[in-house]
């Protein structure tokens, strides 16, 4: 199953994985790349989970992983408060790969020595391979690898040997072949490391002896079976947003439970031109999935009237969504279950999990699938159905395709929950919404017409709360500027402004100032993330 990077806050408790599925476990020591390691393993079609470094050897034994990876981290292993794993892990008899900090921890716990390096090593380094077998099979000598360390191994543990070195690091890759313990001082999981995925595949397939069983087809079969067993003949409510997560979830649940599923689409008036109508028509007429359409545009517009602070704006939108959702769920209900499009990064990073003390069931306190801004009232309690909680975003896209979700939804650009309300800086009004909707529509038309829609992570328009002087014909104008924001990214955590062809920008600009009443100027945002954000609010 072909499968975004931020420091993960992992749970101290491993999830209940199916014991008949091969898996690898990543113990997270605070690395910004732990989640990425898991994704790289899943690209080999082998299941992986990220767990806290506090996970005990006994807990790991119960999960029965085929291998363990110790992640990187910001600490030095010799620091007094440095995180350490359970030393009994070394008695589990499974292969272990230490990455950066994980390698240094392995060395220290197995009797070696780690000290501050004379020369730190950050960024690209050429890997000189001394032993091209086993872990480094098919990794080209001289390959560029991504380094990020200020410490180095000064004494190897008994039984270890050097597999590779760089000009600054004598022990860039090490191994105890007998016990199947391996360590690399670089980060094979990042795109800058050439041959990094080949190294990961060697560990997964040849060292851990895993088989590629984590496939879309296998996931669908398992998820359908689990949903049917959990839900039975009871009803499920899903807040549908039209994004890839909630849409894929709707298709999966429809396959599992059919008309026991009800989708609620709340139109808050902040979506793009034609999207609400298109969404409802697709789901009801083409996909035959029950959707309850709720027109709440006037209610939401009233909530943001006069509001200029972006955080206040978000909170009011979130609060109103809760109110509408509560009213409509009572009208359409009763429902026993609430379906959420929770993804695996949410599981790793989120602490927003409540458990019913009587039943042990997880209960909903957030609507994540719609807008990520606010939770449900505590007295509105549902049992949760979260079939996507094992998946990364790119796995969800692949799942959507397998379930028959149209490409326009599968590859839809990310769209913020509060919608156009946070692409209008300052107060949101009906007039500004009309202006921005029309400008944004032109942007989407032009990039689709040129076959460039999928060249961008996001491409959209922003309306600024200022006016500037212009000239149209012989008349002076005083109108709003539109900002074009086109970015390239792999995961949305970092992004670079797109080097968009001038003729495309010219065409968009000409159309907007000629076709959109109230606009007389178009500008292009050339700020990367960081220091900027992708959205303006």
Q: In 193-343, which ranges are continuous DSSP H helix?
A: 196-201, 216-231, 244-257, 275-281, 297-303, 310-332
* Backbone φ, ψ for residue 290 (5° rounding): -65, 120
Comparing C-alpha atoms, which of 534, 519, 524, 523 is closest to residue 436? 519
The pair of structure tokens assigned to 455 is 């060249």
Distance of CA 169 to the CA centre of its chain: 33
- 331's tokens: 């009208």
> In the numeric block, which tokens belong to residue 352?
């927003």
Q: For residue 448, give every residue at least 6 positions away whose Cβ sits within 8 Å of its Cβ, in sequence order, or none.
A: none
Quick one: which of 411, 397, 493, 416 has its CA closest to 447?
Answer: 411
Q: Is 187 a catalytic residue?
A: yes
Catalytic residue check, 263: no
Single out the residue of 149, 237, 236 nearest to residue 187, CA to CA.
149
Do 236 and 356 touch, CB atoms closer than 8 A? no
Task: Look up residue 190 and give its two tokens.
Answer: 């990042």
Burial of 177 (0-12, 13-18, 19+ CB in 10 A): middle
Q: Which residue is catalytic, options 149, 165, 187, 371?
A: 187
Residue of 43, 121, 189, 320 marked catalytic: 189
Q: What tokens does 277 get?
A: 């109508």
Which residue in 100, 208, 210, 263 is the catalytic one? 100
Cβ neighbors of 174 (< 8 A, separation 6 or more) are 103, 107, 153, 156, 160, 161, 162, 163, 182, 183, 184
Q: Which residues are catalytic?
A: 100, 187, 189
């Amino acid at each position: 199953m072909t499968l975004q990077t931020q420091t993960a806050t992992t749970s101290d408790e491993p999830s209940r994985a199916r014991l008949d599925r091969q898996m690898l476990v990543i113990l997270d020591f605070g690395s910004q790349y732990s989640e990425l390691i898991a994704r790289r393993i899943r690209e080999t079609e082998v299941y992986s989970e990220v767990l806290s470094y506090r996970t005990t050897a006994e807990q790991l034994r119960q999960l029965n992983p085929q291998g363990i990876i110790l992640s990187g981290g910001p600490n030095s292993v010799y620091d007094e408060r440095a995180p350490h794993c359970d030393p009994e892990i070394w008695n589990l008899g499974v292969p272990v790969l230490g990455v950066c900090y994980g390698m240094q921890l392995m060395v220290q716990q197995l009797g070696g020595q780690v000290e501050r390096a004379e020369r730190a090593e950050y960024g690209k380094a050429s890997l000189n391979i001394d032993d091209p077998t086993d872990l480094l099979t098919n990794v080209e000598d001289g390959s560029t690898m991504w380094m990020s360390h200020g410490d180095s191994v000064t004494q190897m543990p008994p039984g270890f040997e050097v597999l590779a070195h760089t000009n600054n690091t004598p022990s860039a890759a090490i191994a105890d072949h007998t016990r199947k313990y391996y360590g690399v001082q670089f980060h094979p999981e990042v795109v800058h490391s050439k041959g990094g995925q080949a190294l990961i595949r060697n560990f997964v397939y040849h060292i851990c002896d895993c088989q590629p069983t984590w496939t879309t087809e296998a996931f669908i079969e398992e998820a359908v079976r689990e949903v049917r067993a959990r839900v039975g003949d009871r009803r499920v409510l899903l807040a549908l947003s039209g994004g890839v997560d909630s849409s894929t979830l709707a298709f999966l649940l429809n396959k599992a439970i059919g008309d026991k599923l009800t989708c609620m689409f709340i139109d808050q008036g902040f979506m793009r031109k034609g999207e609400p109508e298109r969404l409802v028509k697709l789901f009801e007429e083409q996909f035959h999935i029950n959707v309850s359409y709720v027109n709440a545009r006037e209610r939401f517009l009233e909530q943001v009237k006069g509001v200029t602070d972006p955080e206040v704006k978000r909170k009011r939108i979130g609060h109103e969504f809760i109110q509408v959702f509560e009213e409509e769920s009572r009208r359409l209900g009763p429902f026993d279950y609430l379906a959420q499009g929770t993804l695996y990064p949410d599981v790793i990073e989120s602490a927003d999990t409540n458990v019913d003390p009587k039943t042990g069931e997880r209960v909903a306190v957030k609507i994540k699938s719609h807008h990520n801004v606010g939770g449900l009232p505590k007295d509105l309690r549902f049992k949760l159905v979260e079939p996507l909680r094992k998946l990364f975003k790119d796995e969800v896209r692949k799942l959507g395709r397998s379930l028959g979700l149209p490409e326009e939804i599968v590859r839809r650009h990310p769209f913020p929950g509060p919608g156009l309300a946070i692409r209008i800086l300052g107060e949101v009004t009906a007039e500004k919404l009309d202006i921005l909707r029309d400008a944004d529509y032109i942007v989407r038309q032009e990039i689709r017409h040129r076959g460039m829609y999928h060249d961008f992570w996001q491409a959209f328009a922003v309306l600024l709360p200022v006016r500037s002087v212009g000239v149209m014909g012989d008349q002076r104008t005083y109108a709003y500027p539109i900002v074009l924001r086109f970015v390239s990214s792999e995961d949305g955590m970092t992004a670079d402004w797109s080097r968009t062809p001038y003729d495309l920008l010219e065409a968009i600009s000409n159309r907007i100032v000629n076709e959109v009443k109230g606009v007389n100027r178009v500008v292009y945002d050339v700020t990367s993330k960081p220091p900027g954000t992708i959205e303006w609010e």
